[in-house]
Structure 1
Amino acid sequence: MDARIRSLLVRGDGLTTRRDMLRAAPAWTIQTARRANRLIRLLPGVYGDAVLICDANADLPSLARVERDVARRAALAYADGRGALSRLTALDVWGLRRQSPGEPVYLDLPQGSGLRDRPHLVVAHRAGFVVAPPQVVTRGGLPVTRLDRTLVDCWPLLPPVDRLSLLIRAVNDRLTTPQRLAAASAEVPRLPDRGALCGLLDRLAAGCRSPLEVWGHDHAFTGPGMPTFIRQARMRVGARTIYLDMFAEAERVNIELDGATSHGDSAEREIDLRRDALLATVGILVVRFSHRRLTKDPAQVRQETLAILANRARSTP
């Protein structure tokens, strides 16, 4: 390979562009390197060192035959500073969902960029899009769409079973808020399955912080007779700060929903017992429902909850 092209590849960590190569060397050097299988075209105008190929399946697009980091850098080189990683690719960069090898690179670009989809690359054109805050941030040295917009754009692309847990995790980790997610959804006028997203955001805004809490909200703990629970209520007891899952303030009752994997050992159970006893010192009754009971017999859970609340209301001065 021509030493000038080799130098560009070294500086670009294995990647370079046709424009930069033509500035440094004659066009025939590019053709010679390609014919010798030393240089591979990944995207129009974007080339990589052939040693980057890690999948020998020649039927796959070149972009799908290199490591994901290389493919993403190649896509950004193709955008030439006008694009940012988006959708499922951005979700991976944000660390919320690992992108599988068969999924393409997603790239957002401004309208009128003139760039289009390529094999293993999906391009979305957005009006008024610029590669700058607040629309785009940098993570791991890569420009990516902001998380709330990324999650909204991924909503129709994700399997329904993954949607709930991803949004809950993002909110629980304080990476975004239900309010910011709602504002981002308003930016996408023709979002598929918008009703399901809005319903989930309403539950997150109400304080639900797990799939089980969302399920309980929908099937057991709302409706006639139920109080408006304070979710994730902050309670100071002595030197400790405790957060209550679902607190009925007037009745001084806290409903705790134990997930399917909760209390896997005696140590975890002991922690909960000590916590419940501490809350009892300030007159708060803790009622726990298991994942199995709640999901298998929500009507009975609802009936018991109403009975407990009614009894506490009579006994509380």
Structure 2
Amino acid sequence: MNAVLRELVERGGGLVTRTAVEQVVPEWILQGACGSGALVRVLPEVFVAAHMLNGGRPDTPALSRLDPAVGRRAACAWARGRGALSHLTALDVWGLRRQAAGDVLHLSAPVAGGLRSRPGVRVHRRRDFTLEPPQGLVRQGLAVTRLEQTLVDSWPVLPPAERRAPVIRAVNDRLTTPERLEVTLGSVPKLTDAAALRTLLTRLAEGCRSPLEIWGHEHVFAGPGMPVFQRQVPIRLGLRNVYLDLYAELERVNIELDGATTHGDTRQREVDLRRDAQLAAIGILVVRFAHRRLVHEVDQVRRETLAILASRRTTTTADHR
């Protein structure tokens, strides 16, 4: 490969556009590099060094044989400011779900932008979409759709079992709020399984912060006899705040829901025991239920919870006499 062209490709992290090449070398040098196999065209006007391509079947689009991070740069270089990474591709840029090598890249673009889907990249053309904030943002040097739009757009594209995790993580990490997501959802008509997303946002707004807490809310800790639990209640312990999963204020009972990964973690168990002892010292009883019991022993967990609450109410009444 021509030395000047090689330096240009290296400075571009293995990627170069025709426009950039033609500013430093004649067209025939680019054609020669492609003819020799040193460069490979992955999108119109966008080329990468051949060594950047992973293995794959001969019929696999060249773009799909790139590392996803390089593929995203190639898609943005091809779009030339006429589109923004969106859906599952933007979800990866936002750090909420990794795209695997070979997955189709997603771009959203205005209808009048002129972009069309190509092998390896799907273009979602939108009438009211603009690339300026707040709809379009720049993250890691790449144009992406804003987080709330990204999460809503990704909902129907993801397998049903994987839909909730990015939304829950985004809210837990305080990247967004259920209220902001609800507004965005309202602007997207006919979204597949919108009712399930709306229910999830309601649970998150109520304070649920994990799939297990949502399960407990819907199947265990609601119904006749159950108090209206407060969720994620901050309690000061020494120099720090701790957050109670489900707190019955009258009975001063905190129910903690231990996830499937908690069992067998000795260090986490020691942390939990110290925390429980500190809460007990200020009169809060901590009751823990394991993931297995919450899912497979629903009726028994409900009975135990109701009995504990009744006992605490009796004790509280007796203390006040």
Question: Please, what TM-score do these two structures have when normalized by structure 2?
Answer: 0.89
Tell whether 2:156 aligns with 1:189: no
Residue identity matched to 1:73: R
The Cα offsets for residues 74-104 of structure 1, whole Å up to 9 and x where unpaired, read as: 1111111122211111111222221111211
Taking the aligned partners of 1:286 and 1:56, their CA distance within structure 2 comes to 54
Q: Which moved more, 1:306-315 or 1:227-236?
A: 306-315
1:166 Cα deviation from its structure 2 partner: 2.4
Taking the aligned partners of 1:9 and 1:273, their CA distance within structure 2 comes to 57
The Cα offsets for residues 128-150 of structure 1, whole Å up to 9 and x where unpaired, read as: 32333322333322222222221
In structure 2, relative to structure 1, the CA distance for the partners of 1:282 and 1:120 (3 Å cut) is: same
Unaligned stretches of 5+ in structure 2? none
Taking the aligned partners of 1:259 and 1:33, their CA distance within structure 2 comes to 55
3-state DSSP class of the match of 1:158? coil
For the 8 Å contact 2:225–2:306, the answer to whether it is kept is: yes
In structure 2, relative to structure 1, the CA distance for the partners of 1:263 and 1:62 (3 Å cut) is: closer
Question: Which residue matches 1:155?
Answer: 155
Tell whether 2:89 aligns with 1:111: no
For the 8 Å contact 2:9–2:15, the answer to whether it is kept is: yes
Equivalent runs, 1:1-317 vs 2, <5 Å: 1=1, 5-6=5-6, 8-22=8-22, 27-55=27-55, 57-317=57-317
Taking the aligned partners of 1:167 and 1:239, their CA distance within structure 2 comes to 31
Taking the aligned partners of 2:124 and 2:228, their CA distance within structure 1 comes to 42
Taking the aligned partners of 1:270 and 1:48, their CA distance within structure 2 comes to 52
Q: Percent identity?
A: 56
For the 8 Å contact 1:82–1:130, the answer to whether it is kept is: no
CA-based RMSD of the aligned residues comes to 2.2
In structure 2, relative to structure 1, the CA distance for the partners of 1:13 and 1:259 (3 Å cut) is: closer
For the 8 Å contact 1:55–1:66, the answer to whether it is kept is: no
Q: Which moved more, 1:34-43 or 1:104-113?
A: 34-43
Taking the aligned partners of 1:287 and 1:189, their CA distance within structure 2 comes to 43
Q: Which moved more, 1:163-172 or 1:46-55?
A: 46-55
Taking the aligned partners of 1:278 and 1:72, their CA distance within structure 2 comes to 49
Matched residues, number: 317
For the 8 Å contact 1:234–1:242, the answer to whether it is kept is: yes
For the 8 Å contact 2:65–2:102, the answer to whether it is kept is: no
Residue identity matched to 2:312: R
Taking the aligned partners of 1:32 and 1:267, their CA distance within structure 2 comes to 61
Question: Please, what TM-score do these two structures have when normalized by structure 1?
Answer: 0.90
Residue identity matched to 2:108: D
The Cα offsets for residues 287-310 of structure 1, whole Å up to 9 and x where unpaired, read as: 111111111111121122222222
Unaligned stretches of 5+ in structure 1? none
